[in-house]
Amino acid sequence: MKKEIKQRILDLVSKEIKEINEVADKVKIDIPKEEKFGDIATNLAFLLAKPLKKKSIEIANRVREILEKEEDFEKVEVAGGGFINIFLSRSFYWQFLTKAVEEDSRYGEEREKNKGYINIEFVSANPTGPLHLGHGRGAVVGSTLANLKDYIGLKVEREFYINDAGRQIYLLGKSVYARFRQIEEPDYPFPEDGYRGEYIKEIAEELYQYEREKIMSMLDEDEAIEFCAEYAKNYLLDEVKKDLKDFGVEFDIWFSEKSLYEHGKVDEAIEFLRSKGLIYEKEGAVWLKTTEFGDDKDRVLIKSDGTYTYFAGDIAYHYDKFKRGYDYIINVWGADHHGYFPRLKAAVMAFGVPENWLRVIFIQMVKLFKNGKEIKMSKRSGEFITLRELLDEVGKDVVRYMFLTKDSDTHLNFDIDLALKQSNENPVYYVQYAHARIMSVFREAKKRFNFDPEQDFSPDLSLLKEDIERQIMKEIAFLPDTIYDIAEKEQPHKLTSLTYNLASKLHNYYYHYKFLVDDENLMKARLYLLKAVRSSLRTLFRLMGITPVERM
C-alpha cells in the first residue's frame, strides 16, 4: 500500500511542484509508531528544500494544502520543521477490506514469481539420529522465511543438504553393527565414540530380523559396517522426512553430500578456482587464497595425504549452487557455525558473486521446561529431547508458533506447561481463538438470522464508525506492507507479534461491540470486516505454517 500512496502523493504534488520528479526516488513513506502522528508520514518537504531553495517548513505547508483537497487524505499536519503527517480517511481503507476478502489466505501476495530466484537451505541434519529441538527451530525459521520470500514474488527452492559422507556415517554404521552383533554376542565391544541412543538398537534389531544372514555372510567386517551404515542412514533419513512432513515442512531438493565426491564435483570446483589463479600448493597440500576475500588466513582444500578437507566439500556444494543460477542463497545454520561463516563467504566470493550472495541465518539453542524445571534427556535419543517427542506432547501449531516468538539468533526457553494451556495466557491459543471466534460468529449469523457471511455481499462500509473498527481497517490495509518489510529484512519472528496484535484487536472488538444486531445493514458491515480480519489471519497463519482452526 505504501507504494500506491507514495505514487498518489507524487502525482498530486507534481501537478504544482515539478521539481518533485528530481527527488522522487528518495521520497519515503513511513508508518508512525504513535497514532497521533498520523497513519503515514513522509520526508518529501526536506528533499524539495534544495531544488526549490526554500525552507522545508514552507514546502511542507504547500504540500499540505495540495493533499488536503483529496478525499482520501482526511487530515494533513506539518511537524518537526517539515515532516508531513497524513491521516487517511475511512473510505480509503474500504478498498483493502474488499481486497482481503477476495484474496483470503493470500491477501497481498505477489502472484507473479519473477522478482528473483533464490535457494534457502535449512535443517540439513546429519542422518545419524532423530531431529532435535535446534533442528526443529531451524525448520520453522527456514520454511517460514521461504514462505515470506515466495509471498513477495521470488521463486524459492527449499533445500536439505544430506551429510551422508565422512566419519559420522562410518561411526553410525559401526554403532549399528556393534548392536547387531550384541544380539547374539552380548560382550561384543561397542565403539567408545559411537551413537548410544535406543534408536541404534531399533535399527540393529530390524537388520537382525531381515538381513541377518546377509550380514553374517560378509567376510570383511568393514563391508558389514558399510552395509549397516547405508541401511541406518536411509532408515533415519526416512524418519527425518516423516517428522518434517508432520511438522509442516517440505523440501524441493534433497542434496546428497556423497554425490559431490561420486560425480567429481569437488575436483570441478577446485579446478574452477585454479583457473582464476586462486589455488596454490604448499607443503604438499592444496590451498585456496581466501585472504584475498577477507578471510584471516588461506585455507587447505586437499591435505598432504591427498584427502579432501571438509571445507573442500562445502566449497563444491556452494559451487554447485552457484552454477544453478540463483540470485542469492540463504543458509540456516546452528549458532555453533558463527565462526565458519567468514571463511565460507570468502571462498564463495572467489566464484565472482556479490558480497551478499551468500546469507546466513543462525539458530540458537532451545531449552525445554516443564513444572519449572529444564528437561534435557530423551528416552529414545539418549542425549536430547527429540522434535518428535515435543510434537507428540504439544502439537505442530504450538511448536511452530513458539519457535518463532524470538529472533532465531537468541536463546529460546520453551515452557511446555504454557504451551498446553487452553487460555489467553498461551499466545498460540489466543491467536487461533481469534479465527475460531470469527467462525463461531458466522455460524451463529446463519443460525439466528438465516444470513450466510460466506456468500458474496456488498455491505455499507460507511457504517463502520467506531474507533476500534478504524484501527482494525488500518491494520488490515498495512498488513501486506508490513509482511513485505519482514520478508525483505529476513525477520520471520516478527510475524508472531503481528499476528498477536491483530488477534488482540479482534478480541477487543468482540468484547465491546455486538456483531449480530437487528440493524441488518450494520450487521453486514461488521461481518464483512470480520471476513477481512479472517483473511488477514489466514494469510499470517499460512506464512507461519499454522492451522486456522474453526472451533476451540
Which pLDDT belongs to residue 433?
97
For 2-88, the fitting CATH number among 3.30.200.20, 3.30.1360.70, 3.60.20.10, 3.30.360.10 is: 3.30.1360.70
At 486-511, the pLDDT tens digits run 999 999 999 999 999 999 999 999 99
Task: Say yes or no to pLDDT of 132 above 90.
Answer: yes
pLDDT interval class at 381 (50, 70, 90): low
Torsions phi, psi for 41 (to 5 deg): -140, 150
Which pLDDT belongs to residue 386?
92
* This model's pTM is above 0.85: yes
Which pLDDT belongs to residue 81?
82
Which pLDDT belongs to residue 378?
65
Which pLDDT belongs to residue 311?
96
What is the 3 state secondary structure string of 228-287?
Answer: HHHHHHHHHHHHHHHHHHHCCCCCCEEEEHHHHHHCCHHHHHHHHHHHCCCEEEECCEEE
Please give the share of the chain, as a percent, with pLDDT higher than 70: 99
At 165-180, the pLDDT tens digits run 989 999 999 999 999 9
- Other residues' Cβ atoms within 10 Å of the Cβ of residue 70: 15
b vs e for 394-417, b when ≥16 Cβ sit within 10 Å of the residue's Cβ?
A: bebbbbbbbbbebebeeebebbbe
Residue-averaged pLDDT of the chain: 95
Q: Among candidates 374, 363, 371, 381, which has minimal Cα distance to 413? A: 374
pLDDT interval class at 393 (50, 70, 90): very high
Decide yes or no: CATH 1.20.120.350 for domain 424-544.
no
Task: Say yes or no to pLDDT of 359 above 90.
Answer: yes
Task: Say yes or no to pLDDT of 379 above 60.
Answer: no
Element (H, E) at 91: helix 90-103
* 424-544 shares the fold of 2-88: no
In the chain, where the domains are located? 2-88, 424-544
Which pLDDT belongs to residue 5?
85
- Average confidence (pLDDT) over 283-294: 96
Q: Among candidates 485, 512, 515, 511, which has minimal Cα distance to 498? A: 485
Which pLDDT belongs to residue 544?
98
Task: Say yes or no to pLDDT of 312 above 70.
Answer: yes
- In angstroms, how far apart are the furthest CA atoms of the chain? 93
At 334-358, the pLDDT tens digits run 999 999 999 999 999 999 999 999 9
Please give the share of the chain, as a percent, with pLDDT higher than 90: 87
At 438-447, the pLDDT tens digits run 999 999 999 9
At 14-70, the pLDDT tens digits run 888 888 888 888 889 888 888 888 999 999 999 999 999 999 999 999 999 999 999
